Structure 1
Amino acid sequence: MELNIRQYSSNDANFRSELNQLLSWESVSDAGVQRSVEEIVNRVRTEGDAALVELTNKFDRRNVQSAAELVIEGDALAQAVERVDANIVDALKQAAERVRRYHEHQKQESWQYQEADGTVLGQKITPLDRVGVYVPGGKAAYPSSVLMNVMPARVAGVSEIVMVVPTPDSYVNDIVLAAAYVAGVDRVVTVGGAQAVAALAYGTETVPKVDKIVGPGNIYVATAKRMVFGAVGIDMIAGPSEILVIADAQSNPDWIAMDLFSQAEHDEDAQSILISTDADFIAQVKASMERLIETQSRQEIIKTSLEGRGAFIHVSSKEEAIEVANIVAAEHLELSVENPEEWVDDIRHAGAIFMGRYTPEALGDYCAGPNHVLPTSGTARFSSPLGVYDFQKRSSIIYCSHEGASELAKIASPLARGESLEAHAMSAEFRIIDK
């Protein structure tokens, strides 16, 4: 199958402007989506379960009579495990353990120190009480997303985890439920879309209000998450999946072709980009892609993605490759090069970095250990993968001795009066020790 994928050279005079155009992605919803989501969120907020049932029946083509029918927990979750192939269950358990073990290294502990005058300063780490995890259930089911969103919350010490997942036409994916059981989800509510986000954010008679909502979703879910932010915390507003591969001529072109496919198959808006200093190697990868795409069951999605947002970029040097990579700030960055450890220190912006020829992004999606919930659309410039720290709060500890309060008051008082805040100044001054 012929693939018409954009090709760029860093030597072209207009390369930067073309690159910026390639990377542009507007993740915000249009006015129509905004209005629909606002109406749904407000209805669930004011009408609770009644709205949740009505909207679920409407959008997921179900015939639910009460919100209680939407809940799966306890033995029902355990029974899903029995219905799933034992090899898949075993893989889920192994992946969950690897993800747990990795995230154990992220745990933060409370700390404090004492100054000479007896004043104690520090930080208290506290897990969130209740978290909501959104798991997509439309075009595809993602048990891996269950593990990646739930395991760090469990490691952080979150007391209760509520998972929501849509079940269109009442189809329940047992592998997703098995993943929820393995990961330790307390209850599953079979709702999706903006109505699920609203239920988690504000609570209904059946769905408890949570402190934070995490997990990917479509444009309606993303819009709803943005709308409820402030009432609850959210992880991020994620765009389409993306991969950037930097490969040298010693890489296997078939491997690189399949790595690019691995993101393109997610959906038509996903982005796959290859950078190389070798133009002949780029041509070899393109030939591999045109041959191998015929083997793919999702070839039409892959083709649309590659021709709409994919690219081959020829650069002159390692330094140019790194410069472009830092501009792209990709969700997934593969370094299929000799001695990748010599490259990684110069990579400033990437959600996850996959080093060497034997480290495909797909391993990170499922079982390597690090989280696959990553910043997209260039947001790796300022944000990080989901982790234990997203499920913990930090409280400052300040415990002044009388002598310490007296000395601090002598600093605070003039600053407060400089801001014309007399009560602040006097509150501090009352603690000054008269000598």
Structure 2
Amino acid sequence: MLNRIDLRGSARSADGIDRDLLPRAELDVEAVLEKVRPICDDVHHRGSAALIDYAERFDGVRLDRIRVAKEDLERALEELDPEVRAALEESVRRARLVHREQRRTDTTVRVVPGGTVTERWVPVERVGLYVPGGRAVYPSSVVMNVVPAQEAGVGSLAVASPPQRDHGGLPHPTILAACALLGVEEVHAAGGAQAVAMFAYGTEDCRPAQMVTGPGNIYVAAAKRLLKGRIGIDAEAGPTEIAILADDTADPVHVAADLISQAEHDTLAAAVLVTPSEALAGKVGEETARQVAGTRHRERVTEALRGRQSGIVLVEDLDHGLAVVDAYAAEHLEIQTADAAAVAARVRNAGAVFVGPWSPVSLGDYAAGSNHVLPTGGCACHSSGLSVQTFLRGIHVVDYSREALAGIAPQVITLARAEDLPAHGDAVRARFPRPPQMPQAPETSA
């Protein structure tokens, strides 16, 4: 079921592993841009009317309005299964514990007597949070988006999630209940590229936001790329992925179960095992086939595991394996090896690292306290997952006295002249009509 890629004995350059040798889903966001462009333009010009039309076209339901009524949010929470509510409350509690510690404090540096630079951290004013709908229901994504935004101090939050025909055109009631549980009062029944456009441009019922965050399908990713600049984005999320670095101490039952857990998200989901153990590779292959036969979404899982984005990568040893997983830069990386904590400490590129046999990705998806909105498609080599920092902006505040400016004025004027920007220097000269020992611009002959 899982393809094998044997990298043992393969040449490694000074730059490391060739990423093109590794399993990866094909996701051509650029090709989708021209499909989402007219949708976004339509929302820009027609607002809610366009959103209503797209809900009928894409979601099969004709809406009277896009914004969810307060009573619908309250009813969803009242009718929520008590066990699900208790689980969500614990997920929120743990997420708050972790994200609260990510808050930044202002720092002031005294550069010279009378001259300071302060870095002040200011939250984004308004954020649109996207929660997917489709094959699965993701109240956990409500938690993962809302909690860090709230802990950052964002003043205005709005959630968008696709309308559901089976629920009268409202987003799934569990999504609504999670919003109500977190105190989110503004929720919109809008999905796909049109939801991103709603946050970017605003409509009659939704003020424009400064940022949009949250995972979604390729159309959401394309809309984020198209509208980036008009609105800030967290990332262009691709299909979910798990990589597991394991040696012969790993339990093949655990490894197979964790690969399957991510494969059930989507037919393009990536599940990759990296191991120096042929014996483990064989056992995981057998165990995966056995477990897939009994899983609920076996057709979806089977397609994902057989796809080019999934497979077993054989490596020479754990050092080689670490080089491979760093090149792969997985969204989720499990370390199931001897001395897993020491091995995990050497990882440089991953959205999140899960250490040892008792820290499966499923824990992080729901209730570890970490965030599950993470970089995909190899972007973990340069980007981070969603956090409080996502919603904060650092502003430098420069405060110099006359004496402090006078002390550096000659150097400022010298650098301005070196860059052929004399007006920059003149802006300093103007403050000192007769500055002592200040360099003069060379005279020019007629």
TM-score (norm 1): 0.94
Q: Could you list the runs of 5+ residues in structure 2 that have no partner in the other structure? A: 437-446
Segment drifting more, 149-158 vs 215-224: 215-224
Alignment correspondent of 2:136: 140
Distance 1:381 1:399 in 2: 36
Distance 2:300 2:58 in 1: 24
Residues 409 and 431 in structure 1, CA contact (< 8 A), matched pair in contact too: no
Alignment correspondent of 2:3: 6
Residues 119 and 394 in structure 2, CA contact (< 8 A), matched pair in contact too: yes
2:82 is the counterpart of 1:83: no
Deviation at residue 13 of structure 1 after TM alignment: 4.2
Deviation at residue 54 of structure 1 after TM alignment: 2.0
Which of the residues 147, 158, 165 maps onto 1:162? 158
Alignment correspondent of 1:270: 269
Aligned residue for 2:272, secondary structure, equals strand
1:350-402 residue CA offsets vs partner (Å, 9 max, x unmatched): 11110011111100000101111111111111011110001011110101100
1:161-216 residue CA offsets vs partner (Å, 9 max, x unmatched): 10001113225311111111222323100011111111100111111100100011
Distance 2:21 2:250 in 1: 28
Deviation at residue 20 of structure 1 after TM alignment: 1.8
Question: Where does 1:19-34 land on structure 2 (aligned, <5 Å)?
Answer: 20-29=20-29, 31=31, 33-34=32-33
Give the partner amino acid of 1:118: G
Alignment correspondent of 2:41: 42
Alignment correspondent of 1:364: 364
Give the partner amino acid of 1:63: R
Alignment correspondent of 1:431: 431
Distance 1:209 1:19, change over 3 A: closer
Distance 1:14 1:272 in 2: 24
Distance 1:115 1:223, change over 3 A: closer
Segment drifting more, 225-234 vs 240-249: 240-249
Aligned residue for 1:120, secondary structure, equals strand
Deviation at residue 55 of structure 1 after TM alignment: 2.1
Alignment correspondent of 2:209: 210
Distance 1:17 1:230 in 2: 34
Distance 1:123 1:249, change over 3 A: same
Distance 2:203 2:8 in 1: 58
Deviation at residue 24 of structure 1 after TM alignment: 4.2
| RMSD of equivalent CA atoms | 1.8
Alignment correspondent of 2:400: 400
Distance 1:346 1:92 in 2: 33
Deviation at residue 77 of structure 1 after TM alignment: 1.4
Distance 1:77 1:171 in 2: 10
Alignment correspondent of 1:421: 421
Residues 217 and 237 in structure 2, CA contact (< 8 A), matched pair in contact too: no
1:285-323 residue CA offsets vs partner (Å, 9 max, x unmatched): 111111111110111111111111221122221211111
Which of the residues 70, 94, 98 maps onto 1:98? 94
Alignment correspondent of 2:290: 291
Deviation at residue 116 of structure 1 after TM alignment: 4.0
Aligned residue for 1:301, secondary structure, equals helix
1:89-121 residue CA offsets vs partner (Å, 9 max, x unmatched): 010011011011100111101111334421121
Alignment correspondent of 2:251: 252
Alignment correspondent of 2:113: 117
Distance 2:11 2:406 in 1: 63
Distance 2:154 2:229 in 1: 20
Distance 1:101 1:377 in 2: 29
